[in-house]
Amino acid sequence: MMLTLPDALTADQVAQFRHALERATWQDGRATAGHVALEAKRNEQLAANDPLAVQLGNAILDALGGNPLFISATLPLKVLPPSFNRYAGGGTYGNHVDNAIRALPGSAHRVRTDISATLFLTPPEDYDGGELVIEDTYGSHAVKLPAGHLVLYPGTSVHRVTPVTRGVRLAAFFWVQSLVRDQTQRETLYRLDTAIQQLTREAPQSSALVELTGVYHNLLRQWSHT
């Protein structure tokens, strides 16, 4: 399932992020690429231990921790701290699949990358190119969102970033290990939760609410892996 979360960050937060990232110390993004992706990657990133990356990453996690749509769609068990990249002057990242397992920085813990996430930080009119193209069984989907919007998509997807031929594209990216490993089951739970929320607004006294909520939690209990 591919899903867009509008306004994951406020306009003020985006402005603060961009101002800070304009003064950041960027490094060659190939330093974090695997041997297969090494030739396909041409961008810049902040080091994982850069204090600015840590500060901004924590702000993103704080914002998403209070975002009901993010919680419903991902059912997060573990979230890797967000990283930040910069594309300019033809910067691009060819077709690749994200590593299945990633180390949690500064610890012995590992995170399974069930869900990939990209948070756009630059308005689309400020740069040409830079689309995130995600391949799935229904074809290719080019994603270029307003600043502050987030896209979630399966970590199993082949994806790429097209060359940025004008301006600068700034974004944050990270991965989520979900309580529910199977993406079809996650999508089923998300759709069920969405229906429950709609019914809560439209018919709060309906007895069906209790039944549907029970079904949701019983499925979550059956499908979750902790």
The token pair that represents 11 in the structure block: 């306009």
Query: Is residue 96 part of an annotated ligand binding site?
Result: yes
Q: Give me the mean pLDDT over the 151-179 stretch.
A: 98
Q: Quick one: which of 172, 174, 176 has its CA closest to 85?
A: 172
Query: Is residue 169 part of an annotated ligand binding site?
Result: yes
Which part of the chain is CATH 4.10.860? 183-223
Query: pLDDT digits over 77-104, tens only?
Result: 999 999 999 999 999 999 999 999 999 8
Output the pLDDT for position 34. 64
Structural contact between residues 224 and 216, judged by C-beta atoms closer than 8 angstroms? no
Q: Give me the mean pLDDT over the 175-192 stretch.
A: 97
* pLDDT surpasses 80 at 38: no
Output the pLDDT for position 104. 87
Which part of the chain is CATH 2.60.120.620? 3-178
At 21, the pLDDT band (50, 70, 90 cuts) reads very high
* pLDDT surpasses 80 at 36: no
Structural contact between residues 96 and 37, judged by C-beta atoms closer than 8 angstroms? yes
At 145, the pLDDT band (50, 70, 90 cuts) reads very high
Q: Quick one: which of 4, 2, 50 has its CA closest to 27?
A: 50
Query: Is residue 98 part of an annotated ligand binding site?
Result: yes
Positions of E strands within the chain = 3-5, 27-28, 41-42, 44-45, 76-79, 83-88, 92-96, 101-103, 110-112, 115-120, 128-129, 132-136, 139-143, 150-154, 158-161, 164-166, 168-178
Q: Give me the mean pLDDT over the 162-175 stretch.
A: 98
Query: pLDDT digits over 117-137, tens only?
Result: 999 999 999 999 999 999 988
What torsion, rounded to 10 degrees, do the Cα atoms 82, 36, 111, 139 define?
A: 80
**Residue 172 to residue 45: CA distance in whole angstroms:** 10
Output the pLDDT for position 107. 85
Q: What angle do CA 155, 159, 160 make, to 5 degrees?
A: 140
Q: Quick one: which of 121, 104, 102, 120 has its CA closest to 112?
A: 102
Q: How many CB atoms lie within 10 A of CB 83?
A: 21
Which CATH number describes the domain made up of 3-178? 2.60.120.620
Widest CA span in the chain = 58
Please tell me the pTM assigned to this model.
Answer: 0.94
Q: How does strand 92-96 pair with strand 83-88?
A: unpaired
Query: Is residue 109 part of an annotated ligand binding site?
Result: no
Which CATH number describes the domain made up of 183-223? 4.10.860
